[in-house]
Chain A
Amino acid sequence: MKTFEEKWTAWLDGQLTGRELTEFEASLPDKDAAEAEKADARKLGTLLKRELGAQTLANEEFFSHQLRERISRERRTRSREHNVAFPTWWTIRRLLWTGTASLAVFLIFAVSVIRDKNPSGQSQYLTQILNTRVDPVVSPNATVSIFEAKEDQVTVLWTEGLQSLPSDYAAK
């Protein structure tokens, strides 16, 4: 058994039909005033439906906007954190300095190795004079020098000031 309020609400919503509708409308003391109230209630319902729908859409958009903002904020934060963790050290200037320094170290190393390998300055592909001694008593003013005729691949030990000898010494 529905109360009057329940039947009233159903009538306003247009949910009463048949005998129930006829009996309810017959029970109304002022049907015109009730019809006017029903019309107002429908207007209000339409208005509320429209307004509430618009409000819901606005919330969705707002939420979506907030979400997008949050995502982009998080992305920016992650990017900054990544940059802090792996900073770009190899700037152009540092690359140039590093390259120049490496080249200099290589040249110093290469020169020192070449000098160590051949301290006398003689070519290792030609005959090398390791040392020379002249008797200072017999030839006190003797000097020696070494040179290489690289074109002919010949090494010459050149002495000066050795004791001169008469032509008899050229005998076989």
Chain B
Amino acid sequence: MTALALMMSAVLGVHGAETVWSGLVIAENVAQPQQIPGELTRIERPLRNLFGYNQFQVIGQSRKTLQTGQEDWLATSKFFGLHVDARGEGEGGYVLNLKLYKEKELLLETDAKLNKRSPLIIKGPQVGGGQLLLVLVVQ
């Protein structure tokens, strides 16, 4: 019965719902760095190597389970907002429109095809002595 169900799902192209984690992250160098959040452990090495910071804190996040691939959602902190608009599921990933707002001001807009096995990191503006990073991961 299970095998039949697997075969049917393969034939019909039915995919399980997937979750996209979107995060606003502040990267800083501090004397006593905190442990990296669980959502970022997968990309800890490139975060440290590429940006050169020793602490990464999530200041805003959203976890959205995609059913149709056409959903949109918002990840916010006190001053920043990341609006994600999913525009369909392509081969191996989702086509997303991303908008980074500072309060109501649009700082950056990009269209990306988020691969299910490949996280996206966007270097945002400098904030104090640190850096705002936007991270999107299909979980």
Contacts and interface: CB of A to CB of B under 8 A. Distances in A.
Contact of A149 (B50, B109, B115): B50
Contact of A138 (B43, B45, B93, B107): B107
B105 A138 contact: yes
B83 interface: no
A164 interface: yes
A170 interface: yes
A165 B77 contact: no
Contact of A157 (B80, B93, B120): B120
B119 A167 contact: no
Nearest to A129: B112
B50 A156 contact: yes
B52 to A, nearest CB: 13
Contact of B126 (A128, A132, A158, A165): A165
A135 B107 contact: yes
Contacts of A171: 59, 77-79
Contacts of B92: 124-125
A102 interface: no
Provide the main secondary structure of the chain A interface. mixed
**Interface residue range, chain A:** 20 to 34
Counting chain A CB atoms within 10 Å of each CB, the highest count among B78, B92, B93, B122 belongs to B122
A88 B130 CA distance: 77
A169 B46 CA distance: 24
B110 A132 contact: yes
Task: Choose among A127, A131, A156 the residue with the greatest number of B CB atoms under 10 Å from its CB.
Answer: A127
Contact of B80 (A124, A139, A156, A169): A169
Interface string A133-152: 11100110000000001001
Interface of A: 124-135, 138-139, 149, 152-159, 162-172
Interface of B: 26, 28, 43, 45-46, 49-50, 59-60, 77-80, 92-93, 95, 102, 105-115, 117-130, 132, 136
12 contacts: A125-B115, A125-B117, A129-B111, A130-B113, A154-B46, A154-B118, A155-B121, A156-B50, A157-B112, A159-B124, A169-B127, A170-B127
Given A132-B110, A165-B128, 14 more contacts: A124-B92, A127-B113, A127-B118, A139-B107, A153-B118, A156-B120, A156-B122, A157-B120, A162-B124, A163-B107, A164-B127, A165-B102, A169-B127, A171-B59
